[in-house]
Chain A
Amino acid sequence: MLSGLLIYGLSALDLALDPTTALVILLTAETTQWLASRWVGCRFDPRSPLISALSLCLLLRTATPVWGMVAAVVAIGGKFVIRVRGKHVFNPANLGLVVTMVLTDAAWVSPGQWGTVMTVAVSLVLLGMLVTRRAERDDVTWAFLVAWATILGTRAWWLGDPLSIPLHQLQNGALLIFAFFMISDPKTTPDHRAGRVVYAVWVATLGAVLEFVFFVPAALIWALALSAPIVPLLDLWLPALRYRWPSFSSSSTRSTRSVMEAV
Chain B
Amino acid sequence: MTLSLLARVVLGALLLLIASPASAFCGFYVARADTDLFNQASKVVMVRDGNRTVLTMANDYRGAADEFALVIPVPTVLERDQIHVTEAALIDHLDAYTAPRLVEYFDENPCQVDLRRRSIRPVSEALSIEERADSPRRQELGVTIEARYTVGEYDILILSAKESRGLMTWLDENDYRLPSGARRVLDSYIKQGLKFFVARVDLAARARLGYAYLRPLQVAYESPRFMLPIRLGTVNANGPQELFVFALTRTGRVETTNYRTVALPTDVEIPTFVKTDFASFYQALFDRQVTANKMKTVFLEYAWDMAWCDPCAADPLSNAQLRELGVFWLPEQTHTRRSATPQDVFVTRLHLRYTGETFPDDLRFHETGNRSNVQGRYVLRHPWTGPGECAAAYDYHRRLEQRRLEEAKTLAWLTNWPLDDIHQRMGTVPSTTDDRPWWKKIWGRR
Please give the residue numbers on chain A whose beta carbons come within 8 Å of chain B beta carbons, in ascending order: 13-14, 16, 61-63, 104-108, 110-117, 158-162, 164-165, 168-169, 172, 214-218
CB-contact partner of A112 in B258, B263, B293, under 8 A: B258
Q: Are A108 and B360 in contact (CB under 8 A)?
A: no
Q: Specify which of A111, A158, A172 lies most central, judged by the most chain B CB atoms within 10 Å of its CB.
A: A111
Within the complex, the shortest CB–CB distance from B255 to chain A, in Å, comes to 6
Q: Are B366 and A115 in contact (CB under 8 A)?
A: no
The complex places the Cα of A62 from the Cα of B369 at a distance, in Å, of 7
Given A63-B370, A165-B360, decide whether A172 and B258 contact each other with a Cβ distance below 8 A. Answer: yes
The complex places the Cα of A199 from the Cα of B256 at a distance, in Å, of 29
Q: Are A106 and B261 in contact (CB under 8 A)?
A: no
Specify the chain B residue showing the minimal Cβ separation from A106: B369
Instruction: Name 22 interchain pairs, CB-CB below 8 A, sorted by A.
Output: A61-B370, A63-B371, A104-B369, A105-B251, A108-B366, A110-B368, A112-B256, A112-B260, A113-B255, A114-B260, A115-B259, A115-B296, A160-B184, A160-B188, A161-B184, A162-B360, A164-B360, A168-B361, A169-B258, A172-B258, A215-B223, A218-B257
Q: Are A116 and B257 in contact (CB under 8 A)?
A: no
The complex places the Cα of A241 from the Cα of B325 at a distance, in Å, of 61
The complex places the Cα of A216 from the Cα of B51 at a distance, in Å, of 11
Specify the chain B residue showing the minimal Cβ separation from A215: B224
The complex places the Cα of A114 from the Cα of B256 at a distance, in Å, of 11
Q: Are B188 and A161 in contact (CB under 8 A)?
A: yes
Give chain A residues whose Cβ lies under 8 Å from the Cβ of B162. Answer: none
Specify the chain A residue showing the minimal Cβ separation from B366: A217
The complex places the Cα of A183 from the Cα of B301 at a distance, in Å, of 36
Within 8 A of A (CB), among B218-268: 223-227, 251-252, 255-263
Q: Are B260 and A115 in contact (CB under 8 A)?
A: yes
Given A13-B260, A113-B255, A168-B258, decide whether A108 and B224 contact each other with a Cβ distance below 8 A. Answer: no
Specify the chain B residue showing the minimal Cβ separation from A64: B369
The complex places the Cα of A154 from the Cα of B107 at a distance, in Å, of 64
Give chain B residues whose Cβ lies under 8 Å from the Cβ of A113. Answer: 255, 260-261
Given A113-B261, A159-B192, decide whether A108 and B357 contact each other with a Cβ distance below 8 A. Answer: no
Name B's interface SS: loop
Name A's interface SS: loop
Specify the chain A residue showing the minimal Cβ separation from B363: A112
Besides the contacts A112-B255, A164-B360, A215-B225, what 7 more A-B pairs have beta carbons closer than 8 Å? A105-B251, A108-B368, A115-B259, A116-B296, A160-B188, A161-B188, A215-B227
B35 within 8 A of A: no
Q: Are B262 and A14 in contact (CB under 8 A)?
A: yes
Q: Are A214 and B224 in contact (CB under 8 A)?
A: yes
Give chain A residues whose Cβ lies under 8 Å from the Cβ of B296. Answer: 115-117
B175 within 8 A of A: no
Q: Are A159 and B191 in contact (CB under 8 A)?
A: yes
CB-contact partner of A169 in B260, B262, B361, under 8 A: B361
Give chain B residues whose Cβ lies under 8 Å from the Cβ of A117. Answer: 260, 293-294, 296
A-facing mask of B350-387, CB < 8 A → 1, else 0?
Answer: 00000001001100101011111000000000000000
Given A115-B296, A214-B224, A215-B226, decide whether A164 and B357 contact each other with a Cβ distance below 8 A. Answer: yes
Given A162-B360, A168-B360, decide whether A115 and B257 contact each other with a Cβ distance below 8 A. Answer: no
Give chain B residues whose Cβ lies under 8 Å from the Cβ of A13. Answer: 260
Given A117-B296, A165-B361, A169-B258, decide whether A61 and B368 contact each other with a Cβ distance below 8 A. Answer: yes
